[in-house]
Amino acid sequence: MTREKYFPARLVNRREVTRDLFVLHVKVEGQYTHLAGQYATLAVEVAGRRIERAYSICSSPYESVLEFFVERVPDGQLTPLLLAKDQGAPLLLRRFAKGRFTLDLRSGRRKHLLLCTVTGVAPYVSYVRTLYEDSKKGGGPMPGDHRLYCVHGASHGVEFGYREELEQIAAKAPWFSYVPTVSRPWEDQAWGGEIGRVDDLIRKYLHVWELHPGDTTAYLCGHPQMVGNGRGILERAGWKREAVQDEVYFQPPADTAQ
């Protein structure tokens, strides 16, 4: 039963971003395929019980190792276990990647506004790595003149996880712009970049990048509050429901839900 639904996998590397944020590299023993923007389901077995959760895949479909950007939820069931695993530890991975949070190449809108909080950058890393790899080979599946614009929010500058990589790609690829923004700058004296929450910056960057409902698909990924607020702001600015895609990572406990 387990082998039918899951591939065996192994943790091959872990990069610590902060005490609570980790990049995991997982080698799957099986033919695993995914599209940029999809998620995988990782599972750990404890005392005969399987605990599994969804994680957006950061790696591009061209890479042989799957990469995930995971935040530890202190009282969570899976993340403390997952992040305590040593290199080489066995894991399970559901055999099929899932999700429709893929780049919209069909609507005719050629601009893509990618909004995210902390680990919510994961699917965008996969888009950008895939397109960058394609562009280096001189082609790829991206028809026409598409452009990607990303605003990535975190409380502090150390939490971005992929800032260096995304800034390097943005410096070389004219089709990609990346703005990390910190919401608690008073706790981060070293930060000299953009400040404010992602949802509070949407209107500013719509203006700066000249993004309009007719030419832009918007994507919201990560914290439910940012996703909810962001959708409201975009819809009030004229975006149709179907021109805004979202991926919500968790439901807030009932007493804090909006």
In the complex, the residues that contact ligand FAD under the rule CB under 6 A are 39, 53-56, 68-71, 73, 75-79, 99, 119, 122, 247, 249-253
Q: How far is the CB of 40 from ligand FAD (least distance, A)?
A: 9
User: HSE (CB half, 13 Å, CA atoms) of 232?
Assistant: 10
- Contact indicator for 50, 92 with CB cutoff of 8 Å: yes
CB of 236 to ligand FAD, least distance (A): 26
DSSP 150: E
Give 188 or 246: the residue with its C-beta nearer to ligand FAD: 246
Q: Name the helix (H) or strand (E) containing 137.
A: helix 122-137
Shortest distance, position 170 Cβ to ligand FAD, whole Å: 21
Spatial CA neighbour of 220 closest among 139, 73, 67, 115: 115
Least CB distance to ligand FAD at residue 220 (A): 12
Instruction: Give Cα 91 distance to the centre of its chain.
Output: 21
Of 21 and 233, the one with the shorter C-beta distance to ligand FAD is 21
The residue among 35 and 206 lying less far from ligand FAD, judged by its C-beta, is 35
Nearer to ligand FAD, 69 or 205 (CB): 69
Nearest to 205 by CA among 94, 113, 138: 113
The CB-of-187 to ligand FAD minimum distance in angstroms stands at 18
Among residues 246, 194, 177, 196, which one has the least CA distance to residue 218?
Answer: 246
Residue number, 51 or 173, with CB nearest to ligand FAD: 51
When CB distances to ligand FAD are compared, the closest residue is: 76
Type of residue at 202 = I
Helices 224-236 and 198-208, axial angle in degrees (round to 10):
40
